[in-house]
Structure 1
């Protein structure tokens, strides 16, 4: 499990950095073409929007995996031992429900429905389902990290 998470961490971090670099390049070109050339680029405008979606969702999955997401952890800091592990388990299970139901199931359904309808983006002409693929993919990655967290919490609960 540790090896899988390590590979996922490095792959996801590189992917997020690459997406961000392309996103920044698109925005710089958009500003340059609009204000210097006087002809805004519709392709980079749409691409930047789609990249922003992907960076946000993949970054959220990566952040969850690094335990760097926004959290109110004052209760976790007050608890120790089995109580701390139990609360971590409950939090992880609640996150599993969200990532599994909303992101993986709901986002996957949205992606498949959009692909079956053949909706394409106006400027780039790509399938919108490929843009929406970020939702279930992010949910799946979150589930991998949450599975690791659940195993760790169970180990802490039963290991004491």
Structure 2
């Protein structure tokens, strides 16, 4: 279970890093073409906007999977034991519900409708459905990470624990 998550983490991290590098290159070229060459590039402007959307959405899913997302943790810090696990599970179920309904289903419907209308981006001439594909893809990744953490909770494991950390003395090793 941890092996699949580790592979997905590496893949998403690589995709985000590559997209971010291309995004930075687009923005730098946009500045150079606008202020030095005097002819702004419409292609890099549009590409930067689309890449920013993809990096933001995939980055949000990746951050959730790393348990590094922004959270208000007043209530979880006030409880412990079974109550803390139940609160964590309830939070994960709510996040998974949002990811499944709004992002995967709603985003998938948006992608299908946009592809059906044949809408394309002005400069790159890419089908806008592909651009909007970041929404259901990120939703699916959020859903995966939530289900992974719920499964860990169900087995009595802490989703916040580092799977590569050594087990405490006297702990059972499988």
Instruction: Give the TM-score, by structure 1 length.
Output: 0.96
Q: Tell me how far apart the structure 2 counterparts of residues 155 and 29 of structure 1 sit (CA, whole Å).
A: 50
Structure 1 ranges of 4+ moved more than 6 A: none
Q: Tell me how far apart the structure 1 counterparts of residues 3 and 23 of structure 2 sit (CA, whole Å).
A: 30
- The Cα RMSD (Å) is 1.0
Higher Cα radius of gyration: 2
Aligned residue number for residue 89 of structure 1: 89
Q: Tell me how far apart the structure 1 counterparts of residues 60 and 129 of structure 2 sit (CA, whole Å).
A: 20
Aligned residue number for residue 113 of structure 2: 113
What does residue range 7-156 of structure 1 map to in structure 2 within 5 Å? 7-156=7-156
Shift of 1:149: 1.1
Aligned residue number for residue 2 of structure 2: 2
More helix as a share of residues: 1
Shift of 1:110: 0.0
Q: Tell me how far apart the structure 1 counterparts of residues 81 and 156 of structure 2 sit (CA, whole Å).
A: 7
Give unpaired runs (5+ residues) of structure 1.
none
Shift of 1:79: 1.4
Which 10-residue stretch deviates more, 76-85 or 32-41?
76-85
Shift of 1:4: 1.1
Give unpaired runs (5+ residues) of structure 2.
158-174
* CA displacement, residues 101-150 of structure 1 (integer Å, 9 cap, x when unaligned): 00000000000100111100000000000000000000001111000111
Q: Tell me how far apart the structure 1 counterparts of residues 124 and 99 of structure 2 sit (CA, whole Å).
A: 29
Instruction: Give the TM-score, by structure 2 length.
Output: 0.88
What secondary structure, in the 3-state scheme, does the structure 2 residue paired with 1:156 have?
Answer: coil
Shift of 1:154: 2.0
